[in-house]
Structures are given as structure tokens and as C-alpha cells.
Amino acid sequence: MGCGCRYAFEGMLQAIYGFDREPLNCADQDARRCIFHEPDAVLRELDVEYARFYVDFIILCSFFVVLRAGCYLVLRWRVKVH
């Protein structure tokens, strides 16, 4: 099972910089200092340009349900044993 942090990170980046976001405003008009003017450049640089938001969301929800169910079963087992 992979780490949920990866899916949370990808989902957060897709939510902020994805969905055809308009170019970011740069305080300084110097193009050399504003390397992340295009939101797609951020996604490419962080290697999440092909990540899908809905997949990350489904996996995170699955982690939530599985961990909650696992905790419930362990606590129920511990109460029955003692």
C-alpha cells in the first residue's frame, strides 16, 4: 500500500494549479524571475502533470474508510478479549 501523503500532495497541487487555471500574476515583470508564470509549469516541474484529481480523491477516501474500519475492528477485538 502506498503512502497517502503522495495522493494528498498530488490532489492539492491539481486543485491549486490544475483545471486550466489562468496564468499567475508576477509582481516583477522580469520574465527570468517569474519562472512559474504558467500553472502547467508548476505541475510539470513537480511531476504531477498527468495525475488525476478524482483518482487521488478516491484513493484518499478509500484510505480513510479502510483505516476507520481497521481501527474499529481492532478496538472491538480488544474489548472482547479483555
Higher pLDDT, 63 or 3: 63
No. of H helices and E strands in the chain? 3, 0
pLDDT over threshold 60, residue 6:
yes
pLDDT tens profile 27-77:
666 656 777 888 888 899 999 988 899 999 999 999 999 999 999 999 999
Higher pLDDT residue, 24 or 76?
76
At which residue does the C-alpha cell 500532495 appear?
Answer: 9
Burial class (CB in 10 A: 0-12, 13-18, 19+), 72: exposed
Residue 30 is predicted with a pLDDT of 61
Domain interval for residue 48: 4-81
Q: How many domains does the chain have?
A: 1
Write the single-letter amino acid at 12: M
Q: What is the pLDDT of residue 31?
A: 57
